Every structure is written in structure tokens, then in C-alpha cells.
Amino acid sequence: MLVSKAERKYWEALHRIKHGLAHMVNVNDASFRISTLSVALEAGKVNPKGYIRPQRYPELCEAIREAEQARQATSLTTAAKHIKTEKEKKKEISTKYRELREAYERLLEQYLNVVKENFELKSSTQSRATSKTP
């Protein structure tokens, strides 16, 4: 099958977008979608509306749709994994915080017991000292 020069540019642009090697469009943007518009922009069209029509390039349009569906499927699984890891991190951090809080409370209790014992010893030595000297 003979492919025109323009169609070859579109296919190359789609390939670059699919593999994250795009020059003109930002494929890492959160709002990025693979569409005929983004493929035309990547192919170098200044005003890309209407260049890639399903009547003219049906295989290309189908490939663009499939690439977008594949991107959405992988981004959803990636997002789900990201959420799962975030939940695990949050759980781990809250567990560690709870353990540190309990250790802090034990140490605080020990410290207060030492302070109390010190106070009792000081007060008993002072009361002995005052009772011995008339």
C-alpha cells in the first residue's frame, strides 16, 4: 500500500507520542490525550483542525483511538497503583507515629516519676535538716 508523505508524518508523530518521545506536544501533562489534534500538532501542522479526517485516513484514526484507549487503561492502572502505594505509606506512617507516641508517653511517665522522687527526697532531707537544727 502506497502511503503519502503527509500520512507518513502522521504515523511517525503517533509513534513518537505513543512512546513518549514527542517534540511538539507535552505527553507528560495530566490533561494530555492522544487525539487527531495532538497527532497533527506533533506532525508539525500549525493549525491542525481538520487535517486528519476519518474519511481520508481511516486506519490512522483507528490507531489513534486504540492508542488513546491503551493510554487510558495503563494510566488507570498506574493511578490505582499510585493510590495503593500512597495508602500503604499513610498506614505505615500512622503506625510509626503511634509507636513513637507510645514511647514518648512511657518516657514522659518515667521522667515524671524521677522528678517526683527527687522532690520527695529533697523535701524529706529539708524536713530532717530543719528538725535537727533548733
Rounded Cα–Cα distance for residues 64 and 18 (Å):
9
pLDDT of residue 51: 75
pLDDT of residue 77: 63
CA distances from residue 35 to 2, 11, 27, 32, 75 in whole angstroms, order as listed: 24, 12, 12, 9, 16
Is the Cα dihedral 6, 12, 16, 21 positive or negative?
Answer: negative
The residue type found at 44 is G
Which three cell numbers, joined as nine digits, stand for 91? 498506614
Q: HSE, CB side, 13 Å, CA atoms: give it for residue 120.
A: 6
Residue range 102-129: average pLDDT?
A: 93
The enclosing H or E element of 98 equals helix 58-132
Which three cell numbers, joined as nine digits, stand for 54? 476519518
pLDDT of residue 46: 78
Q: Mean pLDDT of all residues in the chain?
A: 86
Confidence tier at 52 by pLDDT (50, 70, 90): confident
The enclosing H or E element of 10 equals helix 5-18
Q: Which of 8-17, 34-43, 51-60, 124-133 has the lowest mean pLDDT?
A: 124-133
Rounded Cα–Cα distance for residues 74 and 38 (Å):
19
pTM above 0.85, yes or no: no
Rounded Cα–Cα distance for residues 87 and 56 (Å):
48
Choose between 81 and 15: higher pLDDT.
15
pLDDT of residue 61: 92
Confidence tier at 128 by pLDDT (50, 70, 90): confident
The full set of domain ranges for the chain reads 5-132
